């Protein structure tokens, strides 16, 4: 995902969205030996790019659904399987929880 913006430690941290992920990133980049900093940076840049792409896909899906249309993409409906599994768990009772 190329937005034309330059990636920085701050931009990666912000793009991660989750405070826990952001802390993990800052911890890893801060503790990386000098010869590994670029590798760690590239790893987290990829995670940040995929996170931003997922957020955008989610926004598009929400907009499509709100407009009454189909959610874009290929989806496998597993509703029946989830319902069957839930019924099985309920039938076992609380002792299996």
Q: How does pLDDT run across 39-81, given as a tens digit for each residue? A: 999 999 999 999 999 999 889 888 888 888 777 777 777 888 9
State pLDDT tens for residues 4-37: 789 999 999 999 999 999 999 999 999 999 999 9
DSSP 31-88: HS-GGGHHHHHHHHHHHHHHHHHHHHHHHHHHHHHHTTSPPSS-----HHHHHHHHHH
Give the pTM: 0.67
Does pLDDT of 96 surpass 60? no
Cβ proximity of 25 and 37 under 8 Å: no
Extents of the domains making up the chain: 9-96
* pLDDT recorded at residue 1: 47
């Amino acid at each position: 995902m190329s937005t034309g913006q330059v990636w920085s430690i701050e931009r990666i941290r912000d793009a991660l969205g989750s405070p826990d992920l952001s802390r993990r990133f800052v911890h890893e980049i801060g503790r990386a030996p000098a010869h590994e900093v670029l590798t760690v940076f590239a790893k987290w840049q990829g995670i940040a790019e995929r996170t931003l792409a997922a957020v955008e896909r989610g926004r598009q899906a929400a907009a499509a659904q709100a407009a009454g249309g189909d959610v874009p993409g290929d989806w496998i409906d597993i509703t029946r399987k989830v319902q069957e599994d839930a019924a099985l768990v309920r039938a076992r009772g609380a002792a299996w929880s």
